[in-house]
Amino acid sequence: MPELPEVEIVRQSLNKKILEKKVKKVLVRNRNLRFKIPPNFEIFLREKKIIRIKRFAKYLIFKLSDNSNILLHLGMSGTIHLIKNKDKNFLTNTSFYSSPQLPHKHNHVEISFRNLKLIYNDPRRFGFFQIIRNNDLLKKRFFNLGPEPFDSQFNEEYIYLYCKNRIKSIKDLLLDQNFVSGIGNIYASEILFYCKINPSVKVNLLKKKELKKIIVNSRKVLLNAIKKGGSSIRDFKNINGHKGNFQKHFRVYEREGLNCRRVKCKGIIEKKFFSNRSTFFCNICQK
């Protein structure tokens, strides 16, 4: 599943490609995504201009010319493909695919502009589109989600109050979108490595200096991942077809059995499962 950095890279790419473009036609081939695409989706979107693409956590937000919004979550396998209308070869970005050709299957939604098409492909159909008619409803939509790691509300006091009476592991807490929005399995493991915190530690046992480390390193890891174009797991690429490079800088993720990359640490990276999710950590510096 694309996490916050990968979704941010897609947002940046879309802002370069479809900003100020007017929707000419919408074709829905399959409404049965995670949430059923509403029957008025095509009419609602037609002739509206894309003013801006924003992001909250793992959600893309298409801001439209009438102050309404289209919300898109990519789910487990959703990808966006941009092709020129006159391109007979249908060359596209190759997110999650090994071919530069537009996939033939699972192209569920097609949004056409004057000289460009945006195609949403999703083999597993866990992604979804939602119509959000105004900004008040948009705020309400995210009301139950925690702040992003970059938000000033994600601070020591917030984490301390949230954690003091909870006994779940810190790894599970970082994946809890009600606590903090946007962190997924890859980056939770990387963040905890930089914090020198074992992923199994119960959150009510964390000291304040450790809470501060979580804030600092959450921002550090995510910003670095965005800077490096995200992580290309299963051939993730951005809208321009460029791979991310952050996977080359993983300290623990998918490095089971390898030496710890921390200077002077002689530990070995181990892999365990928390809540059915793979977790990687150093058996020495994250004790």
CB atoms near residue 117 (< 10 Å): 20
**Per-residue pLDDT tens for 120-175?**
999 999 999 999 999 999 999 999 999 999 999 999 999 999 999 899 999 999 99
74, amino acid identity: L
pTM of the model: 0.87
Give the span between the Cα atoms of 266 and 273, in whole angstroms.
23
Give the span between the Cα atoms of 228 and 245, in whole angstroms.
5
Q: What is the pLDDT of residue 31?
A: 97
**247 confidence band (pLDDT: 50, 70, 90):** low
Q: What is the pLDDT of residue 92?
A: 65
The active-site residue out of 2, 5, 149, 199 is 2
Q: What is the pLDDT of residue 52?
A: 96
Please report, for residues 82, 118, 141, the alpha-carbon distance to residue 18 in angstroms, rounded to integers and kept in the order given.
Answer: 9, 9, 25
Closest CA to 214 of 244, 171, 276, 176: 171
For the record, the structure tokens of 176 come out as 């809890």
Give the span between the Cα atoms of 3 and 59, in whole angstroms.
10
272 is catalytic: no
For the record, the structure tokens of 239 come out as 């809208």
Q: What is the pLDDT of residue 134?
A: 96
166 is catalytic: no
The active-site residue out of 3, 6, 8, 190 is 3
Give the span between the Cα atoms of 217 and 72, in whole angstroms.
28
Q: What is the pLDDT of residue 272?
A: 93
How high does pLDDT run on average in the chain? Answer: 88
Domains in the chain with CATH codes:
4-141 (3.20.190.10), 156-282 (1.10.8.50)
Q: What percent of the chain has a predicted confidence (pLDDT) above 90?
A: 70
pLDDT above 60 for 29: yes
CB atoms near residue 243 (< 10 Å): 16
pLDDT above 50 for 232: no
pLDDT above 70 for 101: no
Q: What is the pLDDT of residue 93?
A: 58
**245 confidence band (pLDDT: 50, 70, 90):** low
**Per-residue pLDDT tens for 176-200?**
999 999 999 999 999 999 999 999 9
124 is catalytic: no
The active-site residue out of 11, 55, 58, 117 is 58
**Per-residue pLDDT tens for 31-83?**
999 999 999 999 999 999 999 999 999 999 999 999 999 999 999 888 888 88
pLDDT above 50 for 235: no
58 is catalytic: yes
Angle at alpha carbon of residue 172, lines to 153 and 189, rounded to 5°: 90
Give the span between the Cα atoms of 245 and 248, in whole angstroms.
6
The active-site residue out of 125, 168, 228, 277 is 277
Give the span between the Cα atoms of 101 and 98, in whole angstroms.
9
pLDDT above 70 for 268: yes
Q: Give 84's strand partners.
A: 116
Give the span between the Cα atoms of 83 and 144, in whole angstroms.
36
Give the span between the Cα atoms of 212 and 28, in whole angstroms.
46
Report yes or no: 208 and 163 within 8 Å, Cβ to Cβ: no
**211 confidence band (pLDDT: 50, 70, 90):** very high
